[in-house]
Amino acid sequence: MQSTSHLKKLSFGSMKATTVENKYFGIEGGRLVNLHVFLASGNVTVGHNQLFNDYGFYIQDIVATLTNEANEDIVNQMLDALQGKSIDVKVETKGADSSIEL
């Protein structure tokens, strides 16, 4: 199994929302949208006392977790959600030190 050094958790969720008018960004109000959120949590900061190479390892951890065969079912559910299909939100992560949640 792949062990991650910087990534602690991947979270993904989808929700239906309605836009609010914002003339500064050209957003019309009342439009129904699907909002998909992907969050990677780890021990990499926004730069304070952070080694630049850590960002590369952080991305490597994300890719390794998403491509880990043990997480194939969960990743496929994430892709299904991005394509507008219904997903089963009760999943269990297998493998790697980091986890993926839906």
Q: Tens of pLDDT along 64-83?
A: 989 999 989 889 988 988 88
DSSP 26-67: TBPTT-EEEEEEEEEEES--SSTT--HHHHHHHHHHHHHHHH
What's residue 88's pLDDT?
61
Q: What is the pTM of this model?
A: 0.68
Nearest of 82, 101, 98, 100 to residue 44 by alpha carbon: 98
Is 1 a domain residue? no
Q: Which residue has the higher pLDDT, 2 or 14?
A: 14
71 found inside a domain: yes
CB 98 within 8 A of CB 5: no
Condensed to tens digits (0 to 9), the pLDDT of residues 14-60 reads: 888 999 999 999 999 999 998 888 888 888 777 777 777 778 888 89
Domain enclosing residue 40, as ranges:
7-101
Q: Residue 87 domain-assigned?
A: yes
- Structural domains of the chain, count: 1
pLDDT at 5: 80
| pLDDT in the model for residue 29 | 96
Report if residue 94 sits inside a domain: yes
pLDDT at 95 over 50: no
- Whole-angstrom distance, CA of residue 11 vs CA of residue 81: 13
- Report yes or no on 35 lying in a domain: yes
